[in-house]
Chain A
Amino acid sequence: MTELLDGSVEVRGADPATPEALRTEAGWRRVERIVTRWVVDTDWWRRPIRREYLRCLLAGGECCEVYRDLDAGGWSWSRRYD
């Protein structure tokens, strides 16, 4: 099961495209591993969506997905895996 999330998320890291830590409700959590990443570029004719999604394994074993808006540049939550 997954829980869909929304809202922005703070990230830290030297590479702006690859977060090393995410700020969760419980504070900063280190990104242990990026499991996979993919790009969505669609809906250009109505409300353009250009995002890079990352599925992250956080320290402590939690798995979540976040995305970076490729136009605006900010990071947002997408979902959390139970």
Chain B
Amino acid sequence: MPPFTELAARSHYSFLEGSASPRTLVAAAAALGIEALGLCDRNGLYGAVGFMEAARAAGIRAIIGVDLDLDGGDRLHLIARHRGGYRQLCRAISAAQLAGVKGQPRLRLAGLDPAVATTAGVAAPRRRRPTLPPPERPAALRPTAGPFPRGWPGLPSTTLLADGEPATVDPADLDGCTVLAGGPESAITTALVRGDLRDATRRAEQLRDLFGRDRIALLISHHRHPGDSWLAAQMALLARRTGLPLAASSLPVHANHGDKPLLDVLTAIRHRTTLDNAAAHGLLLPNAEHRLRSEAELRGLLADHPEAFDVAAHLAMQCDVELDFTESRFPGFPVPPGETPFSVLYRLCQESVQRKYAPVTRAVAARLQRELDVIEKTNLAEFFLITWDIMRFAREQHIPGQGRGSAADSIVAYLLDITRVDPVAHDLLFERFLHEDHQGTPDIDIDFSTDHREQVLQYVYDRYGAERTGMVANVVTFRPRMAMRQVGAAMGFPEPLIDRLAKSVDGWYMEEITKGELRSPLGHPPSGGVSSGDMKSPALTSLAWKQFYEILGQIEGTPRHLGIHVGGMLVTGEPLVDVAPVERATMPGRVVVQFNKDDVEDLGLIKMDLLGLRTLSAIAECLDLIEQSTGVRPDLDALPLDDPAVYASIQKVDTIGLFQIESRAQQQSLWQSQPREFNDLIVQVAIIRPGPIQGDAVNPYLRRRQGLEPVIYLHPSLEPILAETMGVVLYQEQILRIVMEVAGYTAGQADRFRRAMNRHRSRVEMEELRDEFVGRCNTCSGMPVEVAAQIFKGVAGFAQFGFCKSHAAAFARTAYETAWLRLHHPAPYVCALLNAQPMGFYHPSVLVEDAKRHGVRFLPVDVTRSRARCTLENGEVRLGFNYMKALGPTARIACEEAAVAGATSLRDFWRHTLLPRRAMENLVLAGAFDAVERGRHRRELLWELKQVEESLPPRTAARREAGAEAPEATRRPPRGRGAVAGSRLGDEAHAVRRLDTDPPPPLLEVPADAPPLPVMDERTRVLTEYALSEVSTGRHLLSFIREQLTSLGCRPLATIRDLADGTRVRVAGLVIARQAPASASGFRFFTLADEDAHLDLIFRPDVVARTRRVANHNPLLMVEGRLQNERGRVNVVVEAVTGLDGDGVPLQKDESAPVRGAPPSHDYR
């Protein structure tokens, strides 16, 4: 019997046009007895690698294909017969994708007239997306527009498809592929459906002549639609007329009958409409029969065409594609004559080890030799040299960069200056990074200064050629919050309800979101409350609620759209388009491959993560500032990691602005862990992570660290592995050591754990390892099964989000360096931090207030002294134009130039900059002209501004408001060092008209005396500065209402620490952070700030429910509660919350009011 075959299944990698994952399809196929399965997704091979792996595991023959759009509205299925055919598929898809725009590839087959695809003899009209006017519908059934982009009603827009010529592919260049013609929406099927057998015949004959009779078949299918039997008969007739074979297929777009609702929801989301609307427009499939079928079922539907099954099986047997690129994975790294990549690597390491480890110890020599042996066996010397070369370039260009992640486990990476942490000194496990059975290439992640990362990427492009270099894809999948918004919108839920639901969930996985959170609002309002008005929608029935929840459970992990991995670069030995299809990236000239990072790793290709880290930008600028002001540039590489003063400051939890250890949770644990040395910092970086939290490791570690409980081990065999972390698992390396040393796996076998820890699907993959692990622990270590199961539970819980120690060590070093810089050079450090925003845990105003407490003085924006970025001025920080609202990057540069040119008056400055009126007003109000207009107060200057503006000729005034009619004269901000920092302060007025050659026309000066205007008092000035800069160089906002707060009985936060544990307190402050971590079981955490201190608040779940509205919407809160004082580390457990207005006056219950000038809090979920 020929194998039963399904040639053309579609997975969810068709992006909202299929609902099953490749893994699900394979499982369903195996259950149905399908022996060969073809994956043909729309215009891409996004799921090919995972599909092949799943099929191999299930013993199913995998066929790689594509459902390709052709210009003129035609479509064609192509399947690859061999590796050459696969290459041709990649090239054809790439050509189509690059010729079109995102989601709209354009391809033409040479010799195939697109007009044939439509109507005989009539040229095809220019293709538009279908336009369907929505029918009149009851208002209640109209969907909400909330979660969708603009353009509601959202049904297919009338936007024209990409202009220009489509790519043309010669059918001869697809001779390694088999064509499956006559699929859905193909020109042949369309012609048959409209009864034009002659056109269908001509089309089929044309394809037959182009591809050859032995490389094409006609698809015949049946989905239990009214005309399907007739269509199948017509297809059979066409086959007879053209002499082409028929190939049977179910053409599935979902795996099982029960997947249809998910597919419908995806369809509605794709069309940005509701299910009701989608159904009204005929966009949904009419039944659930577009699924995988068993042979018996399909034969029953196509009983008149038994030969089509043999043909399908025959075509399947012709396909044999293996994706093995190991022979050509390296792009070729040039080495001197007579040398090999390994000999060069060996020499570089030997030279470096003498410098870094003088004298070289036996342990170091042995470690180096062991790593070099593994690198030689795995043939990865070239990979290391490529990475070394990138780092060499970065160093030469003075670009800060350092390896992170498991690369720091390697002494070779350390010696090549890829990483900055000594793996021998910190006992880092090389096998976490690489071992001799390693398939593929190891992960090397490198952080570069965000401002300079692009330079490094460009170097890689230049070095290896654009044809061999591309960015790795990141498939964006539905996560709970996004799923709630989009599924809810598709189901017609009211927008306010969707918004509340989405905001009420904190989990990363749907299963983490308790049913309690999603209980029907009809009976159990979700947390946050649902008003009765929310529930008036007829869409919100109990059935809909049940379905909503079911769809949410199914949609998780379904691809939503294709993105670009944040830093993953793929460099290939053969042209990229022979390895994977590519698409356009947003940046001109850049391409993204259709494989994600896991696919690339599975294929053994060379991928490097070149990431941007703003902290490195800040450090680099800080060093520049120190050098400018002192003449000495600190050498951070030579910085000893044992400065007692640094650890003292960390022990005092004085860590605002420090890398990795500044958050509320970090500060809480720092107070308990009291780091005394660098290894303690490594723990600190690793411990506040979802992994240790979910693995129940945090509290045991902290209690043991404080001597509050004994260090115990679940089994004696764990002691050597877990001793450094007091018996708890904190590092991925420890998991691997448990797997190898306790369960007896080899490094290669343990690789499955490493992979499971690295992948998004880690829970699934990890669970598959449970039984084997437990059994082997029992066998190898004599460990009781229950204990082994308990260990596995901890390991699996940790694995999802746990850090590797090497990564923590790399980050800990940066954390130490930031602590050292902040301690010894506070002004340059905070100046650099302000310029590197947005970054970190806190709003810039918090950084400024903290720096003031450490003696740093700040100077306001001044049109004669400020620059585009914040600067140091005699040891004080001068705010730059980047801290002024309504000034975009170009405007800031213009302001800097005017300041350098020495503008002597408001008029002079305006003539230089030609800023929009609003920007000038902001500068005036912020006091930026106080220095040049001495003796004149700000309101008077504002009046003058108005006078000048009103006196301008109308045309000039209009141009000034528009500000951007001369793009060729608009200056671009510089890149790299000296570039203007991105600002969260808005960029709405960045477009500034500049005349570079001629001086600007003089303004028409009309003398006008300002009427008597009140002078701004200090409080007004501070409020204005907050409003315009979101920071204050003067007093803190609360200092102006301290008297009022005192009259309310509120204590200053700085005095709380002296009170006894359990004291009932009343305090007030600005909310600077709100947190609702998923792991906190409904608890929420706020941080309050006043003029002298911060205070952490703890909200119990019942208090959260009671105070949510007031606490969430008021920037200024008065709080009552019980003090927790544990050896000076204080929290307040909140009992009552009252909102205060800007004058400190209590608001009514549930009332909220904005506080002018209050900086926004940073809210985290």
Residue ID in chain A nearest B547 by CB atoms: A45
Assess whether A39 is in contact with B289, with CB atoms less than 8 Å apart: yes
Tell me whether chain B's interface is mostly helix, strand or loop, or mixed.
helix
Expressed in whole angstroms, the Cα–Cα distance for A42 and B279 within the complex equals 9
Report the 9 A-B pairs with minimum CB-CB distance, sorted nearest first. A41-B287, A39-B224, A38-B226, A39-B287, A41-B288, A45-B275, A38-B224, A44-B261, A38-B225
B284 engages A42 (CB within 8 Å)? yes
Query: A33 CB to closest chain B CB, in angstroms?
Result: 13
The verdict on B823 contacting chain A, using a C-beta distance below 8 Å, is: no
- Chain A nearest CB: distance from B232 CB in Å? 11
Listed residue (A38, A40, A45) with the most chain B CB atoms within 10 angstroms of its CB: A45
Q: Which residues of A contact B260 (CB under 8 A)?
A: 41, 44
**Per-position binary interface string of chain B over residues 212-231, scored 1 when its CB falls under 8 Å from any chain A CB and 0 otherwise:** 00000000000011111110
CB distance from A29 to the nearest CB of B (A): 22
Quick check: B544 and A45 within 8 Å, CB to CB? Answer: yes
Taking a contact as CB atoms under 8 Å apart, the answer to whether A41 and B276 are in contact is: no
Partner of B226, one of A41, A43, A53: A53
Beyond known contacts A41-B286, A43-B279, A45-B491: 12 more, CB 8 A cutoff: A36-B227, A38-B224, A38-B225, A41-B287, A42-B279, A42-B284, A44-B260, A44-B261, A45-B264, A45-B543, A45-B544, A46-B544
* Residue numbers in A under 8 Å from B284 (CB-CB): 42
Shortest A41–chain B CB gap in Å is 4
- Report yes or no: B547 in contact with A36, Cβ–Cβ below 8 A: no
| A/B interface sample: 27 pairs, CB < 8 A | A36-B227, A36-B229, A36-B230, A38-B224, A38-B226, A38-B228, A39-B288, A39-B289, A40-B287, A41-B260, A41-B286, A41-B287, A41-B288, A41-B289, A42-B284, A42-B287, A44-B261, A45-B261, A45-B264, A45-B275, A45-B491, A45-B543, A45-B544, A45-B547, A46-B275, A46-B276, A53-B226
- Shortest beta-carbon distance from A57 to chain B in Å: 15
User: Which residues of the partner chain A approach B544 to less than 8 Å between Cβ atoms?
Assistant: 45-46
Which residues of B come within 8 Å of A, CB atoms? 224-230, 260-261, 264, 275-276, 279, 284, 286-289, 491, 543-544, 547
B537, chain A: closest CB distance, angstroms = 12
- Please report the C-alpha to C-alpha distance between residue A42 and residue B261 in the assembled complex, in whole angstroms: 9
Which residue on chain A has the smallest CB distance to residue B491?
A: A45
What 0/1 pattern do residues 24 to 53 of A give for CB contact below 8 A with B?
Answer: 000000000000111111111110000001
Residues of chain A lying within 8 A (CB to CB) of residue B547: 44-45
With a CB–CB cut-off of 8 A, which chain A residues contact B229?
A: 36
- The number of residues on chain A lying at the interface, defined by a beta carbon within 8 Å of a beta carbon of chain B, is 13
Q: How far is the CA of A60 from the CA of B276 in the complex (A)?
A: 41
Closest CB of chain B to A2's CB: distance in Å? 13
Please measure, in the bound complex, the distance between the C-alpha atom of A53 and the C-alpha atom of B229, giving whole angstroms: 14
B287–A44 touching, CB < 8 Å:
no
Residues of B within 8 A of A40 (CB): 286-287
Report the Cα distance A39→B288, complex, angstroms: 8
Min CB distance A35 to B, Å, is 9
CB distance from A8 to the nearest CB of B (A): 22
- Given the complex of chains A and B, what is the CA–CA distance between A44 and B287 in angstroms? 11
Chain A nearest CB from B271 CB (Å) reads: 15
Cα A55 to Cα B260 in complex, Å, equals 25
- Contacts of A55 on B, CB cut-off 8 Å? 226
Residues of chain A in range 38-76 having any CB-CB distance to chain B below 8 Å: 38-46, 53, 55
Closest to A37 in B: B224
Complex Cα gap A44–B262 (Å):
11
Q: How far is the CA of A37 from the CA of B224 in the complex (A)?
A: 7
Rounded to whole Å, the gap between the CB of B840 and the closest CB of chain A is 44
Cβ distance B141 to chain A, nearest Cβ, rounded Å:
9
Complex Cα distance, B229 from A38, in Å, reads 10
Interchain CA distance A56-B276 in the complex, whole Å: 31
Q: Kindly state the separation between the CA atoms of A43 and B284 in the bound complex, as whole angstroms.
A: 10
CA distance A41 to B544 in the complex (A): 17
In the assembled complex, the CB of A63 is this many whole angstroms from the nearest CB of chain B, namely 13
Q: Please report the C-alpha to C-alpha distance between residue A55 and residue B227 in the assembled complex, in whole angstroms.
A: 11
In the complex, the chain A residue whose C-beta lies closest to that of B490 is A45
Smallest CB gap from B257: residue in A: A41
Complex: how many Å from CA A20 to CA B870? 88
Q: Specify which chain B residues have a CB less than 8 angstroms from the CB of A44 in the assembled complex.
A: 260-261, 264, 547
- Chain A residue with Cβ nearest B226: A38
Of all chain A residues, the one with the shortest Cβ separation from B274 is A45
Give the CA-CA distance A41 to B260 in the complex, in Å. Answer: 9
Chain A residues within an 8 Å CB radius of B543 = 45
With a CB–CB cut-off of 8 A, which chain A residues contact B286? 40-42
Residues of chain B within 8 A of A38, CB atoms compared: 224-226, 228, 287
| Whole-angstrom CA separation of A45 from B492 in the bound complex | 10
Residue of A nearest to B227 (CB): A36
Whole-angstrom distance between the alpha carbons of A73 and B1062 in the complex?
68
Q: Report the minimal beta-carbon distance from B283 to chain A, rounded to whole angstroms.
A: 11
Q: Which residues of B contact A53 (CB under 8 A)?
A: 226
A38 to B227, CA, bound (A): 8
Interface centre among B228, B286, B287, B543 (most CB of A within 10 A): B287
Cα–Cα, bound, A82→B338 (Å)? 91
- Give the distance to chain B from A68, nearest Cβ to Cβ, in Å: 13
With a cutoff of 8 Å between Cβ atoms, the chain A residues found around residue B276 in the complex are 46
Cα A43 to Cα B543 in complex, Å, equals 12
User: What is the bound-complex CA distance between A41 and B276, given in angstroms?
Assistant: 15
A38 to B230, CA, bound (A): 12
Bound-state CA distance A46–B230 (Å) is 32
A1 to B225, CA, bound (A): 21
Complex Cα distance, B224 from A36, in Å, reads: 9
Residue of A nearest to B141 (CB): A46
**Which residues from chain B contact A39 at a C-beta distance below 8 Å?**
224, 287-289
